[in-house]
């Protein structure tokens, strides 16, 4: 396999705890097709929309587009979901001194900072509607006006946006502007989830063994045949990011330089839908459609698999998974989360404390870290 088929994030101490996928490898035929499309698009100035699940490596694709574009300016990555509406307005477009309370001096926005290079806007679907109008104007006119100013500043910026939601459905729900959607999707790159490109799983696992093996002073560590089978059988709901974490943990607990299936700590979520009993009762289905497995039966089978693999602290892990997913599904709102899970708010708060989630919550909302970096 050619080294050109591996993309990694640049080494940086600031990325040590990053939630991003840190490596993207093109070995599976579907991945190679994506890489070919990226190479064709990279040399143009077209705006690119990268679509894919969380953890599939969308930022890595954006960085590769920048590296292949020939642009000499910087690559700047911004998470649109990490800022309040008022803050992202000033950060994205810049502001003049006195434009708002606390603006003691003028400051260039991300568009200006990326001049001559590439601006990557992750989670573009979280951009408020009011800012979508401003972004559309910037893309159309190729210039930006800072808050508190009337002077237009010309731009030469390649925009790459990414989303893990279906923007066309957001357009239908009137949460996203149709004109901006069409402007962003001049070139759309769909990054398939890891489960749909199984040819990448083992090469990526070996890559992470090399990365973490060096940091742990483990050399020559190998995957057992059973571990390889387990990695290929798992659905990887967390994609590359989850694979990285699984391999990291397995290297910490493995013995004799061999990673065994029992060393791989999998989430029950990765077994749902893939292990449902064929004999499970199902609801009536329209003619011509396959029956849908009972999700509780699928969960029961997933728990059986985890018990057979001697998953450490199984009950705590399942409880943490349910609480975390319920909390995230309700956008970190405690009242709605308690209602969804069928518990009182006091019980929910106890569970959130137990699993380290309450410390992140303020009035039912999670304060996300600002997520801006330059390269």
* HEC sequence for 124-164: HHHCCHHHHHHHHHHHHHCEEECECCCCEEECCCEEEEEEC
The pLDDT-based confidence of 41 (bands split at 50, 70, 90) is: very high
The answer to whether residue 207 scores a pLDDT higher than 90 is: yes
The answer to whether residue 229 sits within a structural domain is no
Q: Determine the Cα angle at 93 with ends 92 and 95, to 5°.
A: 115
At 280 the pLDDT is 35
The pLDDT-based confidence of 328 (bands split at 50, 70, 90) is: confident
At 50 the pLDDT is 96
pLDDT digits (tens, 9 = 90+) for 65-115: 999 999 999 999 998 877 777 788 788 887 677 666 666 677 778 888 999
DSSP 288: T
- Provide the token pair at 351: 């569970």
Query: Which of 169, 192, 215 is a domain's end point?
Result: 192
Task: State the Cα–Cα distance between residues 291 and 272, nearest whole angstrom.
Answer: 15
At 101 the pLDDT is 65
| Contacts (Cβ under 8 Å, ≥6 apart) of 204 | 23, 25, 194, 240, 243
Give the other-Cβ count within 10 Å of 11's Cβ: 7
At 190 the pLDDT is 95
Q: Determine the Cα angle at 95 with ends 90 and 97, to 5°.
A: 135
Domain with residue 333: its CATH number is 1.10.10.60
Query: Which of 159, 192, 225 is a domain's end point?
Result: 192
Task: State the Cα–Cα distance between residues 122 and 127, nearest whole angstrom.
Answer: 10
Task: State the Cα–Cα distance between residues 246 and 244, nearest whole angstrom.
Answer: 6
At 95 the pLDDT is 65
At 188 the pLDDT is 95
Backbone φ, ψ for residue 328 (5° rounding): -70, -40
Rounded average pLDDT over 325-346:
85
Average pLDDT, the chain: 81
Q: How many domains does the chain have?
A: 2
Comparing C-alpha atoms, which of 375, 374, 358 is closest to residue 366?
Answer: 358
At 283 the pLDDT is 39
- Provide the token pair at 180: 């901006």
The answer to whether residue 129 sits within a structural domain is yes
The answer to whether residue 319 sits within a structural domain is yes
The pLDDT-based confidence of 187 (bands split at 50, 70, 90) is: very high
Q: How far apart are the first and last CA of the chain?
A: 27
- Which DSSP string do the residues of 235-283 spell out, in sequence order? --TTHHHHHHHHHHHHHHH-BTTEE-GGG----GGGTTTTS--TTS---
At 284 the pLDDT is 43
* Its pTM surpasses 0.75: no
The answer to whether residue 150 sits within a structural domain is yes
Rounded average pLDDT over 351-370:
57
Distances (CA, A) of 243 to 6, 194, 222, 323: 16, 9, 16, 22
The answer to whether residue 36 sits within a structural domain is no
At 368 the pLDDT is 36
At 191 the pLDDT is 94
Rounded average pLDDT over 33-52:
94
Q: Which of 49-53, 145-149, 224-228, 309-313 has the lowest mean pLDDT?
A: 309-313
The answer to whether residue 203 sits within a structural domain is no
pLDDT digits (tens, 9 = 90+) for 240-278: 999 999 999 999 999 999 999 889 988 877 765 443 333
The answer to whether residue 173 sits within a structural domain is yes
The pLDDT-based confidence of 156 (bands split at 50, 70, 90) is: very high
Domain with residue 179: its CATH number is 3.40.50.300
Higher pLDDT: 175 or 369? It is 175
Rounded average pLDDT over 298-320:
74
Q: Which domain holds residue 150?
A: 43-192
Query: Which of 192, 211, 244 is a domain's end point?
Result: 192
Percentage of the chain exceeding pLDDT 90? 39
The answer to whether residue 11 scores a pLDDT higher than 60 is: no
The answer to whether residue 64 sits within a structural domain is yes
Q: Are residues 328 and 187 in the same domain?
A: no
Question: How remote is the C-alpha of 59 from its chain's centroid?
Answer: 9
- Provide the token pair at 59: 């930022």
The pLDDT-based confidence of 120 (bands split at 50, 70, 90) is: very high
Rounded average pLDDT over 37-42:
94
């Amino acid at each position: 396999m050619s080294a050109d088929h591996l993309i990694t994030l640049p080494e940086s101490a600031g990325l040590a705890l990053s939630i991003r996928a840190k490596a993207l490898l093109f070995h599976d035929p579907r991945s190679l097709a994506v890489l070919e499309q990226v190479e064709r698009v990279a040399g143009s100035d077209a705006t690119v929309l990268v679509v894919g699940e969380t953890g599939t490596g969308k930022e890595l694709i954006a960085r590769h587009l920048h590296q292949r574009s020939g642009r000499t300016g910087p690559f700047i990555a911004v998470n649109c979901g990490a800022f309040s509406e008022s803050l992202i307005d000033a950060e994205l477009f810049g502001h003049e001194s006195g434009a708002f309370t606390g603006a003691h001096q003028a400051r260039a926005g991300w568009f200006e900072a990326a001049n001559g290079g590439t601006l990557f806007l992750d989670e573009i679907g979280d951009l408020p509607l009011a800012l979508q109008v401003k972004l559309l104007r910037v893309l159309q006119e190729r210039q930006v006006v800072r808050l508190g100013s009337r002077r237009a500043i010309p731009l030469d910026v390649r925009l790459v946006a990414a989303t893990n939601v279906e923007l066309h459905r957001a357009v239908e729900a009137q949460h996203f502007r149709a004109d901006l959607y069409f402007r962003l999707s001049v070139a759309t790159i769909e990054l398939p989830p890891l489960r749909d490109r199984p040819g990448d799983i083992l090469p990526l696992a070996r890559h992470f063994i090399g990365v973490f093996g060096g940091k742990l002073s483990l050399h020559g560590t190998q995957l057992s045949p059973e571990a390889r089978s387990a990695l290929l059988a798992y659905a990887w709901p967390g994609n590359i990011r989850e694979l990285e974490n699984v391999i990291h943990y397995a290297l910490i607990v493995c013995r004799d330089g061999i990673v065994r299936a029992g060393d791989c700590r999998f989430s029950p979520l990765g077994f749902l839908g893939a292990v449902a009993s064929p004999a499970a009762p199902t609801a009536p289905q329209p003619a011509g459609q396959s029956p849908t497995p009972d999700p509780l039966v699928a969960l029961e089978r997933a728990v059986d698999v985890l018990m057979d693999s001697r998953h450490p602290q199984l009950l705590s892990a399942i409880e943490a998974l349910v609480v975390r997913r319920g909390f995230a599904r309700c956008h970190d709102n405690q009242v709605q989360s308690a209602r969804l899970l069928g518990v009182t708010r006091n019980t929910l708060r106890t569970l959130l404390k137990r699993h380290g989630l309450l410390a992140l919550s303020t009035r039912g909302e999670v304060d996300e870290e600002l997520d801006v970096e330059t390269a």
